[in-house]
Amino acid sequence: MRLFAAAVSGSLLALLQPAGAAPLADNTKSKDKPVYTIGSPPIPKIILIPEAKLSEIAAPFMPTFQNGTASVDSFKPKDVPLIRDPKRPKPIATVIRARDDRLLDSTQRLGYPYSAVGKVILRQPSAANKIVRDCSGAAIGARLMLTANHCFPHNHSLGDITMEFIPAYDATSDDPEPYGSAYATECTAVAERPVDGTDYIVCRLNGDIGPTTGWLGWTAWDDDESYRKGKWSSVGYPARVNGGNVPCYESPVVLKNITNSGFEGKLMTSSPPYVSAGWSGGPLFGWSGDTPYIAGVVTATAGSTTDQGLRFELISTHAGGKRLAELIEAARHNATGGS
């Protein structure tokens, strides 16, 4: 299989881009949100860990792989109800276009684990806080958030950028920010790289938002077949549905092709595609009993050729693998060289 972004016209071009590059109107104000930020929001710094060093840094904190798998538990607050499978209207065939059947309603978005998934907004303070990019993300600790690496403005071509995480955000609700929001202060990744099997980044926040929303743990396998056999779901904020201002849920996400990328990162593709701009960074997660585990991060919808280049199809891509688990554990234990 070969992934590519071709020069095409019309709406197809937008589908061949990373899934988190759609500036939106700023509808993220809430009168009752908890306040973690006094004064100007922080500008996140970036910490890049060489892939060859990540295993060494994370080794003291990694659980032992048993029978080819390992995991770290999630956390559900006692007062947040568990919602295993949100009820939705009957799906329609075209999964990329605006689909009301994917919406999480106000009750569902406040249930765990959807309470731990939110909208990520990047703003430019020097331009009246103009929104320059939006993505999705998930809480993975008391003050840690996981999203896609390509969502972070590595080159800062627009100057300083702030990065806000708003769990369970819904602009159409009377309470759009039920858990408030927090800002990234530093983000850790393995490299500045395009969409591939290590397209994930862990950001430390300036507030303990996780104990209120809950957070997701992770799971990883040594083999590819376990990923293919899993029943996966995802939550994100696609711009094609209500301008990216409401959470959407997709399940099942069926993984078909898995490519080992670099140092044990995995590029995992699904078809038919379900991702559009704004969903980047949303979690790909599955269940063990009533416990949800992240196995990957949504990265893009792209074009691919198969069958020796004779067939074209659109696919959604996800990044995961052992490197994702190591990056999360290194950040959880503050072993990344940050503050």
All structural domains of the chain with their residue ranges: 2-332
CA–CA separation, 21 and 155 (whole Å): 15
Q: Positive or negative CA dihedral for 220, 275, 102, 88?
A: negative
Across the chain, the runs of DSSP E, i.e. the strands, are 2-4, 45-48, 69-72, 117-124, 130-141, 144-147, 162-167, 182-189, 201-205, 217-221, 232-236, 248-253, 255-261, 265-270, 283-288, 291-306, 311-321
Residue 257 confidence (pLDDT) above 60:
yes
- pLDDT attached to residue 79: 95
Residue 1 confidence (pLDDT) above 50:
no
Least trusted range by pLDDT, from 9-18, 92-101, 139-148: 9-18
CA–CA separation, 125 and 40 (whole Å): 9
Quickly state the pLDDT bin for 303 (edges 50, 70, 90): low
- pLDDT attached to residue 27: 46
Q: What is the CATH number of domain 2-332?
A: 2.40.10.120
- pLDDT attached to residue 195: 67
Distances (CA, A) of 6 to 3, 70, 189, 273: 10, 38, 27, 17
Residue 164 confidence (pLDDT) above 90:
yes
pLDDT in tens, 204-249: 999 999 999 999 999 999 889 999 999 999 999 999 888 899 999 9
Least trusted range by pLDDT, from 40-54, 200-214, 252-266, 298-312: 298-312
| Structure-block tokens of residue 136 | 């999705």
Query: Nearest 5°: CA angle at 165, between 164 and 168?
Result: 140
Mean pLDDT of the chain: 82
Quickly state the pLDDT bin for 18 (edges 50, 70, 90): low
Q: Positive or negative CA dihedral for 39, 143, 76, 82?
A: positive
CA–CA separation, 117 and 172 (whole Å): 17
114: three-class secondary structure by DSSP = helix
CA–CA separation, 180 and 69 (whole Å): 35
